[in-house]
Amino acid sequence: MSLTFLLLAVAALCALSFYFGRQRAVALSGGRYSNLHSLPAHYGTYTAMWCGIPALLLLLVWYMFQGSIIEAMIVSDLPAEITGDSGRLSLALNSISLIAAGNGEHLSVDPEVVEAGQRLANLQTIANAALVVVMLSTAMIGLALSYRKIAKEMRARNNVERIARYAMIACSGIAILSTVGIVFSLLFEALHFFSKINPIEFLFGLEWSPQTAIRADQVASEGAFGAIPLFVGTLLITLIAMFVAVPVGLFSAIYMGEYASSKFRAFAKPALEILAGVPTVVYGFFAALTVAPFLRDNGAVLGLDVSSESALAAGLVMGVMIIPFVSSLSDDVMSQVPKSLRDGSYGLGATKSETIRHVILPAALPGVVGAVLLAVSRAIGETMIVVMAAGLAANMTVNPLQAVTTVTVQIVTLLVGDQEFDSAKTLSAFALGLVLFLVTLGLNVFALKVVQKYREKYD
Amino acid sequence: MTDMASLMEDRAAAKVISGNLHTPVDWDSPKIARNIKKRYAAERRFKIYGLSAIAIALMALLVLGYSIVSKGYSAFFQTYVQLEIHFDPAEIDPDGTGDPAVIGRANFDSLVKEALRNRFPDVTDRRERRDLYDIVSGGASYDLRERVLDNPSLIGQTRKIWLISGDDFDMLNKGYISADTDEGDRRLNDQEIGWYNALTSDGAVEKQFHTRFFTNGDSREPELAGIWGAAVGSFYTLVVTLLLSFPIGVLAAIYLEEFAPKNRFTTIVEVNINNLAAVPSIVFGLLGLEVYLNVMHLPRSAPVVGGLTLALMTLPTIIIASRAAIKAVPPSIRQAALGLGASPVQTVTHHVLPLAMPGILTGTIIGMAQALGETAPLLMIGMVAFIVDVPGGALDPATVLPVQIYLWADSPERAFVEKTSAAIMVLLGFLILMNGFAVYLRKKFERKW
Amino acid sequence: MAVVTQSAMTAEPSVTSPKMTARDLNLFYSDNQALFDVNLDIVERQVTALIGPSGCGKSTFLRCMNRMNDTIDGVTINGKVTLDDRDIYDKAIDVVQLRARIGMVFQKPNPFPKSIYDNVAYGPRIHGLVNSRDELDEIVMTSLERAGLLKEVKDRLPEPATGLSGGQQQRLCIARAVAVSPEVILMDEPCSALDPIATAKVEELIDELRSNYTIVIVTHSMQQAARVSQRTAFFHLGKLVEVGETDQIFTNPKDERTKGYITGRFG
């Protein structure tokens, strides 16, 4: 029975329980709803909740553990020569799941593996059947128990509202849960990585080449994992992006907020916002197929050797992407500068630009700094533009005409395709992810604090 | 009384000073006039900076749009070649059974090849023949099969039929391959261009609207590749995203705005939401890879995992927008409902939520539009695989539109450039529709309290 | 021009050689008319108080006198306002210079988020009134002195102006206005955000400044108008109802509406 069908079945049961619960309440009321503590619909909702929620929770828990339990069962039955070698084991597990899915005809593997594949298929069938049975019976039991509890004086509304409140708290908790999830999944694999590679070498090493060993004395043919070239590349591209985004964004915001007629604003503001709504993969395509060749060809005319994956192309396009971000944030902070300050300056005979330069910008400076920091954090974490337009080779250079690589590019490169979860190569992506997360988080927390403080000043 | 004393003192001080005046400013002096001129020049310069900033941004938008449309519009048309096909009964249905199963198994490819050989009988060399066969796409034989299955009376006849061309031939016809360049620098040699010229002068080459682009899944052959598979994948992914993030986001927003006490838990939740909104999307991809795939063993490349990942990303957007919408409902409405004896939950569900719904929906649509354009986290959970089949459900392997764009952008064939641009146009079309709808909702239900 | 003479009748017989005049001044916010045919003369080196119920147009009128309404979208003005017999709405008039000649002090103290020194130095700097740091120092000191603030702040000139008390901030704003040597100072309810003691100080200051400057003050307090002004103009519903010597307005108003307002029957 497919998952969709199962969910539909539970939904149908819920609808049924609503009907039953309501009917019973109506019957108990003897036609006068005022005899009841709550409205009949509350009794219906009460039974429906007891029918659906435990069943769905069960489903969730089941799916969280089914995979790992079955895998453990399969692994325990495999011969030790396979389980002993982690590389072989993951290969075998791959084949097993292929066989179980019925796609393993072309594989030439040990008979144990084939057998395990069939066993896996069996286990999955059993597990699915068991899930259907357990889930539907949970729903039925919930229905029956809550149905029996319905009575005239039962406080159905209060019960329903209490459950609703718990549900709301649980939903709010998801935000915490995702942060915890991010931290733990990054930390777990990163620690795994640091048990193989010295964190000092990772953070301060000057050589990045995760594929092959380049020096004989390198850590056991695992390649080099010095991330400094990635950090330099990321910063270089971010810097180029900021050179575009900050002046253009800031001046756009100034013109829009202080000079433009409302007609011009009505046209230009949404146009700028379109820039923010364009998916990053589109910018990546634009950078790789339009901007980079343009720069390379024009560089050649000028006698410059511009790489076709130059940091400049990626940085420029990323800058364009961030323009609306900077401009709308600075617009926000500048419009918060109280009108009385402008009046004070105009009243002394200052021109608009003098007012902006000497009064508004200094007053809005903390907010603008916060906005720029948020933009930097966004540039550091941006992925698609650099994946498509920046290079893969970890060159240690600050020349914007050359190819550099970034943290996000490496994460994508390392994790797209087949992965072995015990090689330093794969794990290094999580270590990079951890660095990325911590840096952007730090920038954001700091920037939000700056902006917050600024807001309080003028509230 | 000390204030009074200091006041008196101040008065005395002021009296003393008032005798000493500045000289009045001579506003007509040349120095001041020069200064004013300079100031107005600075003012003009500053204004020009602002205007050019906006001009730069808009230029970037225009260039972006132009480069995509100019590269992509041609993908909506496909070159077709007219050939005389002999529906040879010996090849299609040698026993004359008329059984669709037999016809379906027939080798229609050889019919196409034969037609090409007949059209250019002087091509005999094996390698040249292979080039010749490339004029027509491998997909043409499927078209012929459909045709015969629809109309078995074709068997035995000879008909002029428009067949879909191969990608290089298509590129030549669209002018992307120029016959004027050096032979070694182009993908087609002089002989192939000769064939093209011969066919063109027969009027046997034309461009037709390319429906396959909208109905096919991915393919290694550019002329057969379409976006339908990716579009369906995007659809399933967004459905999962919406089903998760909308109820969770709205419930969380209601709780935080209406019920949450000011305590530690609430503060932590709020800080978390603000920070999650700014976490790079790729980090969500790492989370999805680790939690959904490695721990929970959900299927790789499946829209359900993509949806679960994107839901976490969209959640802050929806929560923040919903909270703003709920906050905008004036307290007087809540007081009115509570005053009539409604419970807090009833107040929210009967009064606050319906009034806040347009704002919540606007935020949700914007969040969904973001999710539709998102690529990086989906690469992490394996939605980047080459998938030919159109997914039939949220658990089937699938890809999504932006990832399809990424995959095509990486493909070496020249013909994929126009496909990529065209897919971008389709994606942007969806995004414009969604954002336009959000703007419409906001305009329509905008209410000033 | 019959219209002019007729509306001019609402004003008192014009004073000799006024510093500023308004003639048939009408002002519209998009379609709403906020001022109707205002005719008023401002006498040099006197304090003129503009009083009236809130929304009567007195602040709007004040902002016409140094063209501050130019910064608001959708405002149209017709009529004439002169400074030394020159129309300030004339195309040849430079609004930047005009505002330097007609300084303004606002309802809420609005020091710039800069140091005390820089606040006062802002005007002379942008207008290029000084050639040296010493000259600037002198202007800053004299202006602060004239605003009665020097004694309180002379040891903390580099400190941010936002650290001053409300009354001090308002006097700083007056010093800031004085620093460009204006001929007229417009004050828009300068004491409304201040406590009584700070108010008393500012009122005292206004009285002192009168010997050097022409001052127009909008106030919602009749007592204040009576205390600081020599002439008072009463506005009602966008019209100038009555103007005259302050003593006369408060003791023997000619118009019933003025009488009603002053005796507190409406307002």
Taking CB atoms and an 8 Å cut-off, how many pairs form between chains A and B?
273
**3-class SS shares of chain A: helix, strand, coil, % to 5:** 80, 0, 20
Lowest-confidence region among A88-102, A406-420, B45-59: A88-102
Strand boundaries in B87-185, DSSP class E: 158-164
Q: DSSP class of residue A219?
A: G
Candidates B1, B27, B35: best to mutate against C (most CBs of C within 10 A) is B27
Number of neighbours of residue A110 by Cβ within 10 angstroms: 14
pLDDT, residue A419, reads 63
pLDDT band (50, 70, 90) for residue C94:
confident
**What angle do the packed helices A228-254 and B30-72 form, to 10 degrees?**
120
Token readout for A411 is 């994460």
Closest residue in A to B382 (Cα–Cα): A416
Question: pLDDT at position A328, please?
Answer: 92
> CA angle A180-A186-A192, nearest 5°?
130
The shortest CB-CB distance from B14 to any of C126, C139, C148 is to C148
C196 touches B: beta carbon within 8 Å: no
Residue A216 has pLDDT above 50, yes or no: no
Q: What is the mean pLDDT of residues A19-43?
A: 85
Q: Is a pLDDT exceeding 60 seen at residue C13?
A: no
Size of interface A-C (CB pairs under 8 A): 71
Instruction: Return the SS3 of A65.
Output: helix
Residue C127: CA atoms inside 13 Å, Cβ hemisphere, count? 32
Q: Dig out the tokens for A286 from the structure.
A: 């634009």
What's the pTM value of the predicted model, to 2 decimals? 0.86
Long-range contacts of B30-39 (CB under 8 A, 24+ apart): B31/C128, B32/C97, B32/C127, B32/C128, B32/C129, B35/C127, B35/C128, B36/C94, B36/C96, B36/C97, B39/A351, B39/A354, B39/C96, B39/C126
Distance CA B375, CA B285 (A): 10
- Lowest-pLDDT choice from A108-112, B318-322, C80-84, C182-186: A108-112
Taking a contact as any Cβ pair under 8 Å apart, which residues of chain C between 205 and 264 contact chain B?
205, 208, 211-212
User: Does the structure show a pLDDT above 50 at A199?
Assistant: yes
List the one residue out of B281, B437, B304, B307 whose CA is nearest residue B374. B281
Please tell me the total number of residues recorded for chain A in this structure.
459
pLDDT digits (tens, 9 = 90+) for B103-145: 888 888 888 888 888 888 888 888 888 888 888 888 888 888 8
pLDDT at B392: 83
Strand C239-245 to C231-236 pairing: antiparallel
Dist CA A258 CA B16 (whole Å): 44
Contact C126 A358 (CB under 8 A): yes
Q: Please, what are the domains in chain A?
A: 3-154 (no CATH), 224-454 (1.10.3720.10)
Place of tokens 């849960």: A177
**Closest CB from A161, A286, A436 relative to B280:** A436
Tell me whether residue C229 is exposed, middle or buried, using C-beta atoms within 10 angstroms of its C-beta: 0 to 12, 13 to 18, 19 or more. Answer: buried
Contact yes or no for A343 and C111 at CB 8 A = no
Residues B297-325: tens digit of each pLDDT = 888 888 999 999 999 999 999 999 999 99
Measured CA to CA, the distance from residue B366 to residue B440 in angstroms comes to 12
> How much is the pLDDT for B102?
83
CA neighbours within 13 Å on the CB side: how many for C108? 9
Residue A236 · residue A315 · CB < 8 Å: yes
Nearest to C99 among A340, A346, A359 (CB): A346
Residue showing tokens 């090689």: A423
Percent of chain A at pLDDT exceeding 70: 94
Q: Give the torsion sign (CA, C121, C125, C127, C133).
A: positive
Quick check: C243 and C234 in contact, CB under 8 A?
Answer: yes
Whether C19 and chain B come into contact, CB under 8 Å, resolves to: no
pLDDT in tens, B49-71: 999 999 999 999 999 999 999 98
| Neighbouring subunits of C (3+ Cβ pairs under 8 A) | A, B
Residue of A nearest to B53 (CA): A248
Q: How far is A249 from chain C (nearest CA, A)?
A: 24
pLDDT of residue A87: 67
**Disruptive mutation site among B45, B281, B297, B374 for chain A (greatest number of A CBs within 10 Å):** B297
| Tens digit of each residue's pLDDT, chain B (449 residues) | 445 555 445 444 444 443 344 566 777 788 888 888 999 999 999 999 999 999 999 999 999 999 999 989 999 999 999 988 888 888 888 887 778 888 888 888 888 888 888 888 888 888 888 888 888 888 888 888 888 888 888 888 888 889 999 888 888 888 888 878 887 778 888 888 888 888 888 888 899 999 889 998 898 888 889 999 999 999 999 999 999 999 999 999 999 999 988 888 888 898 889 888 889 999 999 999 988 888 888 888 889 999 999 999 999 999 999 999 999 999 889 999 998 888 888 899 899 999 999 999 999 999 999 999 999 999 999 888 888 888 888 888 899 999 999 999 988 888 899 999 999 999 999 999 999 999 898 888 877 66
For chain C, list residues whose CB is within 8 angstroms of any CB belonging to chain A: 66, 68, 71, 73, 95-101, 103-108, 110-114, 122-123, 126-127, 173, 176-177, 180
Q: Do B68 and A282 touch (CB under 8 A)?
A: yes
Contact list, B429 vs chain A (CB under 8 Å):
none
**Min distance C162 CA to chain B CA atoms (Å):** 22
Distance between CA atoms of B27 and B10, rounded to whole angstroms? 33
| Confidence (pLDDT) at C4 | 39
Token pair 């009034």 is found at: B355
In whole angstroms, give the CA distance from residue A124 to residue B65.
Answer: 50
Alpha-carbon distance of B272 to B370, in angstroms, equals 20
Partner residue opposite B287 with nearest CB, options A181, A378, A382 = A181
Which residue type sits at A317? V
- Say yes or no to pLDDT of A37 above 80: yes
Which residue of C44, C137, C146, C154 to mutate against B (max B Cβ within 10 Å)? C146
Q: What tens digit of pLDDT does each residue of A336-380 get?
A: 898 899 999 999 999 999 999 999 999 999 899 999 999 999 999
Chain center to CA of B146: 32
Over residues A222-266, the pLDDT tens digits come to: 578 888 999 999 999 999 999 999 999 999 999 998 899 889 988
Q: Which residues pair with C22 in a beta bridge?
A: C40, C81
User: Residue B294 in contact with residue A421, Cβ under 8 Å?
Assistant: yes
Task: Read off the pLDDT band of C188 (50, 70, 90).
Answer: very high
Question: Which residue segments constitute the domains of chain C, with CATH numbers given?
Answer: 16-109+181-261 (3.40.50.300)
Q: What confidence tens digit (pLDDT) does each residue in A383-393 have?
A: 999 999 988 88
DSSP state for residue A459 in the 8-state scheme: -
> What's the whole-number mean pLDDT along residues A180-184?
92
Bridge partners of residue C26, in order along the sequence:
C78
Q: What percent of chain C has pLDDT over 90?
A: 55
Contact B13 C151 (CB under 8 A): yes
Phi-psi region of B230 (alpha: psi -120 to 50; beta: other; left: phi over 0): alpha
